[in-house]
Amino acid sequence: MQTMEPIYGSGTLLLIAAGAVALLLVLIMALKMHAFLALLVVSYLTAIASGVPVADVPAVTTSAFGSTLGAVGLLVGLGAMIGRVLEMTGGAQVLADTLVSRFGEKRAPFALGIAALLFGFPIFFDAGLVVFLPIIFSVAKRFGGSVLLYALPTAGAFAAMHAIVPPHPGPVTAATEIGANVGLTLLVGVPVAIIAWYVGVYLFTLGYGGKVMVPIDDSVLTGGDDHDESTARPPSFAHVLFILILPLILIGGNTIITTLRATGSIGQDNLFADAVVFIGQTPVALLITLMFASYTLGTRGRSLAKLESILNSALAPICAIILITGAGGMFGGVLRHSGIGAALSDSLADMGLPLIVSAFVIATVLRVAQGSATVALTTTAGLISAAVIAEDPSSLQKVALVIAIAAGATVLSHVNDSGFWLVSRFFGMDVKTTLRTWTVMETTLGLATFVLALGLWAIG
């Protein structure tokens, strides 16, 4: 989709962009419109207001929506299905129990956080937190103290993975919008998420958050009907761990072979190299991982019909997320096509802010204003995409930009963020306590992530 020749000056285009973002916030925050519908409405109105011919608006918006879904839908769907298999077969419980027993009582919060980081690779923040609730309360009762000592490292780990690491929709969409390699984003994002979690969440919990006394109250657990009774033979820790690292191994092989080919160390007609590159493409790697998890773990004591039911149950909850990210991509596509993105990049250049700082600032403003990390990620990526094309950063610097956007989309979670209320409700905190613990922790996590992004940008 090519950028059209703007019919307005930069100043007018920037006013249209500001009005579009303001309208988006009003629709979501004040009128409580669903984010998917709000993004559609704003995308259409922005296209018309910026001078896109009315007859071309459907083609422009549909093209941007479809290209985003093409990149995001497969990864999010496959990731959700992997997470569901691990959840329903007891893999999450095995992961947490094994790590807690090996690290011991004093490092139980660390063990829970590591378990959540591993499990958070394929599963979304809210789903992961729900799965880990009984584990958190069980460990908290066993060792005592404030429930936050165990809850914050776990919730923070899921938040870090959800914001930074593909196949989660925010980073996948942001990477797609600015032309970053999704596989490289995953490989770099994992260590960044771990380091940022350790500094911004774990150390914060030990130094402050875990010392805020919140009694253990597990009345929120209702048992539900999601428990799988076919887990008499729980999987081994090694089995679960291998499932989680398998896509990293496959994608890593792709990256190594691609690099060796670029340097001439491996010929372009090497069939083995072709195979490694193919299975290391992110969608293919996730598909292989899902197949392996399904037929080595999902069928243990279960019929194929039960496995199908487990996989099917993973897809319904992510429908809204996929549509929202597609609509976010549509909005970004309109901004690029109309020339608004180019006008914004020129303005940022005039302000003298480095591109990576601009990415963080814009994402932070959107995060604070409307709450959704995913919307902040997708909208920011669309806004800076033209600037990225103009500056032409390296592959690693593009990944750094994705991480900087994720950092801005993480900080200052407050009352307009659904995650804020999930944590508050699940762990029995009032708003004031949640603000002084969860909100501050999300901010330290985001700032730690941004510092790492700056480092990657500098060496890229």
* Helix/strand/coil for 106: coil
Give the C-alpha separation, 335 to 5, whole Å. Answer: 13
Give the C-alpha separation, 283 to 247, whole Å. Answer: 9
Those residues whose C-beta lies under 8 Å from the C-beta of residue 263, and which sit 6 or more positions away, are: none
pLDDT in tens, 313-349: 878 767 776 787 678 778 877 877 887 766 765 666 5
pLDDT at residue 224 in the model: 42
pLDDT in tens, 65-80: 887 787 677 777 887 7
Q: Structure pTM?
A: 0.71
pLDDT at residue 223 in the model: 41
**pLDDT at residue 231 above 60?**
no
**pLDDT at residue 109 above 80?**
yes
**pLDDT at residue 222 above 50?**
no
Query: 210 phi and psi, to 5 degrees?
Result: -75, -10
Residue 256 burial (CB < 10 Å; 0-12/13-18/19+)?
middle
- Residues 259, 262, 267: CA angle, nearest 5 degrees: 105
How sure is the predictor about 356, in pLDDT bands with cuts at 50, 70 and 90? Answer: very high
pLDDT in tens, 30-44: 888 887 898 899 999
pLDDT in tens, 257-288: 877 786 677 877 888 889 998 998 878 888 99
Give the C-alpha separation, 336 to 345, whole Å. Answer: 11
Cβ distance 350 to 447 under 8 Å? no
| Domain ranges across the chain | 63-459
As a dihedral over the C-alpha atoms of residue 39, residue 40, residue 46, residue 51, rounded to 10 degrees, the angle is: 160
CA-nearest of 250, 235, 210 to 97 is: 235
pLDDT at residue 198 in the model: 97
- Token pair 């969860």 is found at 438
Q: What is the mean pLDDT of the chain?
A: 83
pLDDT in tens, 385-414: 888 988 889 999 999 999 999 999 999 888
